[in-house]
Amino acid sequence: MPKNPHTLRPELEHEFDRDPRLGYEPQDGQGTLRYLCHGVPNTLVRWHHHDEYELHLIVETSGKVFVGDYIGHFEPGHLVLTGPRLPHNWVSSNVPPQGVALRDIVLQFADAPLRRAAENIPELTEVMTLLERARHGIEFFGLTKLARQSMESIRQQRGLRRFNEFLALLGHLSECQDYRLLSSMPLQSLDDEASNLKISGIVDYITENCCSALSLADVSARIGMSESQFSRYFRRATGNTFTDFVNRLRITKACQLLMETDHYIANVCYESGFNNVANFNRRFLEIKGMTPKEFRRQVEVRFGVTQ
Q: In DSSP terms, which residues pair with 81 in a beta bridge?
A: 55, 138
Residues spanned by the domain of 241: 193-302
> Percentage of residues in the chain with pLDDT exceeding 90?
53
Q: Is residue 4 part of a domain?
A: no
Is 70 exceeded by the pLDDT of residue 282? yes
Q: Are residues 163 and 230 in the same domain?
A: no
Q: Do 210 and 126 fall into the same domain? A: no
Residue 216 has pLDDT above 70, yes or no: yes
The reply to whether 279 falls in a domain is yes
Q: Is the pTM above the cut of 0.85?
A: no
Tell me: do 49 and 173 sit in the same domain.
yes
Q: What is the pLDDT of residues 105-160, one digit of tens each?
A: 999 999 999 999 999 999 898 899 999 999 999 999 999 999 999 999 999 999 99
Asked whether residue 117 falls in the same domain as residue 31, the answer is yes
The answer as to whether 288 is a domain residue is yes
What letter would DSSP give residue 159? H
Domain boundary among 181, 216, 239: 181
Q: Indicate whether 200 pLDDT > 70.
A: no
User: Does some domain include residue 307?
Assistant: no
pLDDT score, position 14: 79
Alpha helices (H) along 89-136: 112-118, 125-134
Statement: residue 192 has pLDDT above 70: no
19 and 161 together in one domain: yes
Residue 195 confidence class, pLDDT cut points 50, 70, 90:
low
Average pLDDT, stretch 226-231?
A: 92
What pLDDT score was predicted for residue 26?
A: 80
259 pLDDT higher than 80: yes
CATH number of the domain bearing residue 166: 2.60.120.280
User: In the listed set 181, 212, 227, which residue is the last one of a domain according to the structure?
Assistant: 181
Q: Which of 188, 9, 37 is nearest to 106 (CA)?
A: 37
- Has residue 170 been placed in a domain? yes
Q: Quick one: pLDDT at residue 6?
A: 46
pLDDT of amino acid 109: 96
Distance CA 194, CA 10 (A): 36
40: pLDDT strictly greater than 90:
yes
Q: Which of 139, 154, 181 is the last residue of a domain?
A: 181
pLDDT value at position 20?
87
Shared-domain flag, residues 103 and 204: no
Question: In 3D, which of 268, 274, 272, 261 has the Cα closest to residue 292?
Answer: 268
Same domain (yes/no): 175, 200: no
- What DSSP string runs through 226-261? -HHHHHHHHHHHHSS-HHHHHHHHHHHHHHHHHHH-
pLDDT of 91 strictly over 90: no
Same domain, 177 and 240: no
Do residues 113 and 27 both lie within one domain? yes
pLDDT digits (tens, 9 = 90+) for 6-17: 446 678 887 877
User: What DSSP character marks residue 111?
Assistant: S
Give the 3-state secondary structure of residue 182.
coil
52 shares its domain with 132: yes
Same domain, 223 and 134: no
Domain with residue 218: its CATH number is 1.10.10.60
Is the distance from CB of 255 to CB of 4 less than 8 angstroms? no
In a domain, 89, yes or no: yes
| Tally of domains within the chain | 2
Q: What does each C-alpha distance from 184 to 67, 81, 106, 137, 284 come to in angstroms? A: 10, 14, 23, 8, 13
Which pLDDT score is estimated for 184? 65
Same-domain pairing of 246 and 159 = no
| For range 231-260, the mean pLDDT | 84
- Window from 77-81, 102-106, 186-190, 223-227 with minimum mean pLDDT: 186-190
Mean confidence (pLDDT) of the chain: 86
**What is the arithmetic mean of pLDDT over 208-231?**
90
Among residues 140, 193, 191, 190, the alpha carbon closest in space to that of 170 is found at 140
pLDDT confidence of residue 238? 66
* pLDDT of amino acid 80: 98
Find the mean pLDDT for residues 264-275: 96
**Rounded distance between C-alpha atoms, residue 168 and residue 238, angstroms:** 29
Residue 6 lies in a domain: no
Residue 52 lies in a domain: yes
Q: Per-residue pLDDT averaged across 274-291, rounded?
A: 95
